[in-house]
C-alpha cells in the first residue's frame, strides 16, 4: 500500500470526529508536520478537507457531496429494481437503469430480456455517452453551460451511420430530449438495437437516473419499440414517486390508463403522454401544460409535454 495514500486516508476519520490542527494530524498519522501539511494541502485541493480561519482542518464539502451521490445511486437502484422487474415482465425486453458520473454514464442495474436474442451489456459498464438513450436523458438535464462544456469535451465515435457526429448535433438533440421528456437511440450505437429511455427524478426535480428498454431489431422493429414509450415513461414516473416517497409498492404502478400500449402495438390516444398514471380520461380537464423551460415553484421542474406521437424518424 502507498504510504502517502494510507496516511491521507487516515486523516479523514480523524477529521470526522471534529476539526484538528496540523500538529494533531501529524501526530495521528505518525508523520512530520511538513508531510502532514503536504497531504492536507492535497486533500484541500480536491475539496475533501477545508481549512478554517483558526487554521484547523475539517472535512470538506466535496466529501459530503460524493457520499450523498453514492447514497443516492445505491438508493435509487434498490427502489427501482422491483419496477424494472415489472416492466420486464410486461414487455419481455431488456431493461436498464443508468446514472451519470462526471463525463461517463454507467449501467447500475439490468433485467435481461426473456427473448432468445439478448443484448451484450452489464452492470457497471460504461454507456456510449454520445448516442445512448439513457445518456441523452441524463445529459439533457444539465444546466446549459455545463451541458455545452461537456459536449465539447466528448469524443464522437462513428458507431453506425446514425451516430451523433459532433457537439452541435448532440446539443440540438439534448434540447429536444429536455423539452419532450424522453430519448431514443434508434441504431445509433448498434444498427441492430433500438432503445427508448425516460428520466427518474429526485426530490428537487433533477434527473437522478435514466430507465430504458432495449430491443434487438430481430425481435421488434422501430415502430414497435417506440410503442413501448408509454410503458417506459410510466415506469420511470413510478420509480420517481417511490424514490421521492409519494408512493410505495411497485404493484400500484401498473398501467391503468386506457391508452397504454401493449408490447409491439401502437400507442393509442395522442402519443406517449397518454399512458401516464393519473392522466385525465377523455373529456376530463387537465392542468395546463408548461412550455419548454418552464419551472414551477419550490424548485421542481414542470412535467414537459410531448411534441406529439413518436415516429421512427425521431
Residue 93 within any structural domain of the chain:
yes
At CB < 8 A and 24+ separation, what contacts does 27-36 make? 31/7, 35/7, 36/7, 36/11
Residue (of 207, 203, 196, 221) closest to 306 by Cα position: 196
Q: Which three-class secondary structure state does DSSP give residue 49?
A: strand
Residue 15 within any structural domain of the chain:
yes
Number of domains the chain is built from: 2
Say what angle helices 22-29 and 3-16 make with each other, to 10 degrees: 120
What pLDDT was estimated at residue 301? 35
Give yes or no: residues 71 and 20 share one domain. no
Confidence category of residue 68, pLDDT binned at 50, 70, 90: confident
pLDDT at 271 exceeding the cut of 80 = no
Q: Which three-class secondary structure state does DSSP give residue 286?
A: coil
Contact 67, 54 (CB under 8 A): no
pLDDT at 303 exceeding the cut of 60 = no
Give yes or no: residues 53 and 107 share one domain. no
Mean pLDDT (whole number) for 68-82 = 82
What pLDDT was estimated at residue 287? 37
Q: How far apart are CA 205 and CA 290, in angstroms?
A: 15
What does the pLDDT look like over 202-224, one tens digit per residue? 988 999 999 999 999 989 899 99
Count of H-run helices and E-run strands, the chain:
9, 7
User: Domain boundary residue among 59, 89, 107?
Assistant: 59
Domain containing 243 — which CATH number? Answer: 3.30.450.40
Give yes or no: residues 172 and 265 share one domain. yes
Residue 297 within any structural domain of the chain:
no
Give yes or no: residues 253 and 109 share one domain. yes
Residue 296 within any structural domain of the chain:
no
Give yes or no: residues 71 and 171 share one domain. yes
pLDDT at 121 exceeding the cut of 80 = no
Mean pLDDT (whole number) for 41-45 = 95
What pLDDT was estimated at residue 223? 93
Residue 294 within any structural domain of the chain:
no
Residue 290 within any structural domain of the chain:
no
Q: How far apart are CA 113 and CA 239, in angstroms?
A: 20
Give yes or no: residues 76 and 176 share one domain. yes
Give 74's strand partners: none
Give yes or no: residues 23 and 101 share one domain. no
Most distant CA pair in the chain: distance in Å?
77
Give yes or no: residues 186 and 41 share one domain. no
Confidence category of residue 270, pLDDT binned at 50, 70, 90: very low
pLDDT at 89 exceeding the cut of 80 = yes
What pLDDT was estimated at residue 93? 93
What pLDDT was estimated at residue 123? 78
What pLDDT was estimated at residue 37? 95
What pLDDT was estimated at residue 126? 84
Mean pLDDT (whole number) for 39-68 = 92
Mean pLDDT (whole number) for 159-186 = 95
Give yes or no: residues 72 and 114 share one domain. yes
Give yes or no: residues 25 and 142 share one domain. no
What does the pLDDT look like over 258-269, one tens digit per residue? 344 433 333 333
Residue 210 within any structural domain of the chain:
yes
Lowest mean pLDDT among 191-195, 229-233, 246-250: 246-250
pLDDT at 176 exceeding the cut of 60 = yes
pLDDT at 58 exceeding the cut of 70 = yes
User: Domain boundary residue among 59, 77, 102?
Assistant: 59
Mean pLDDT (whole number) for 245-250 = 60
Give yes or no: residues 112 and 250 share one domain. yes
> What is the 3-state secondary structure of 297-308?
HHHCCCCCCCCC
- Domain extent at residue 22: 3-59
Residue 298 within any structural domain of the chain:
no
Give yes or no: residues 82 and 55 share one domain. no
Amino acid at each position: 500500500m502507498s504510504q502517502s495514500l494510507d496516511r491521507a486516508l487516515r486523516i479523514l476519520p480523524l477529521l470526522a470526529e471534529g476539526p484538528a490542527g496540523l500538529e494533531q494530524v501529524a501526530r495521528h498519522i505518525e508523520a512530520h508536520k511538513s508531510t502532514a501539511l503536504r497531504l492536507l494541502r492535497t486533500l484541500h485541493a480536491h475539496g475533501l478537507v477545508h481549512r478554517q480561519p483558526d487554521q484547523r482542518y475539517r472535512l470538506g464539502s466535496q466529501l459530503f457531496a460524493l457520499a450523498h451521490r453514492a447514497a443516492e445511486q445505491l438508493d435509487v437502484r434498490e427502489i427501482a429494481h422491483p419496477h424494472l422487474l415489472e416492466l420486464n415482465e410486461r414487455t419481455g425486453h431488456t431493461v436498464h437503469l443508468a446514472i451519470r458520473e462526471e463525463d461517463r454514464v454507467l449501467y447500475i442495474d439490468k433485467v435481461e430480456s426473456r427473448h432468445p436474442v439478448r443484448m451484450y451489456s452489464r452492470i457497471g459498464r460504461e454507456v456510449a455517452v454520445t448516442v445512448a438513450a439513457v445518456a441523452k436523458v441524463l445529459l439533457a438535464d444539465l444546466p446549459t453551460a455545463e451541458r455545452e462544456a461537456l459536449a465539447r469535451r466528448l469524443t464522437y465515435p462513428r458507431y453506425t451511420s446514425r451516430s451523433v457526429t459532433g457537439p452541435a448535433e448532440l446539443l440540438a438533440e439534448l434540447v429536444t430530449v429536455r423539452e419532450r421528456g424522453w430519448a431514443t437511440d434508434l441504431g445509433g450505437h448498434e444498427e441492430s438495437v433500438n432503445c427508448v429511455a425516460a428520466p427518474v427524478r429526485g426530490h428537487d426535480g433533477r434527473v437522478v437516473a435514466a430507465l430504458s428498454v432495449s430491443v434487438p431489431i430481430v425481435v421488434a422493429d422501430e415502430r414497435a419499440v417506440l410503442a413501448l414509450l408509454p410503458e417506459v415513461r410510466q415506469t420511470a414516473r413510478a420509480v420517481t414517486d417511490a424514490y421521492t416517497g409519494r408512493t410505495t409498492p411497485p404493484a400500484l404502478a401498473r398501467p391503468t390508463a386506457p391508452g397504454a400500449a401493449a408490447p409491439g402495438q401502437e400507442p393509442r390516444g395522442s402519443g406517449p403522454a397518454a399512458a401516464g398514471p393519473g392522466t385525465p380520461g377523455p373529456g376530463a380537464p387537465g392542468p395546463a401544460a408548461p412550455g419548454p423551460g418552464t419551472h414551477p415553484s419550490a424548485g421542481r421542474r414542470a412535467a414537459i409535454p410531448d411534441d406529439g406521437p413518436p415516429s421512427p424518424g425521431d
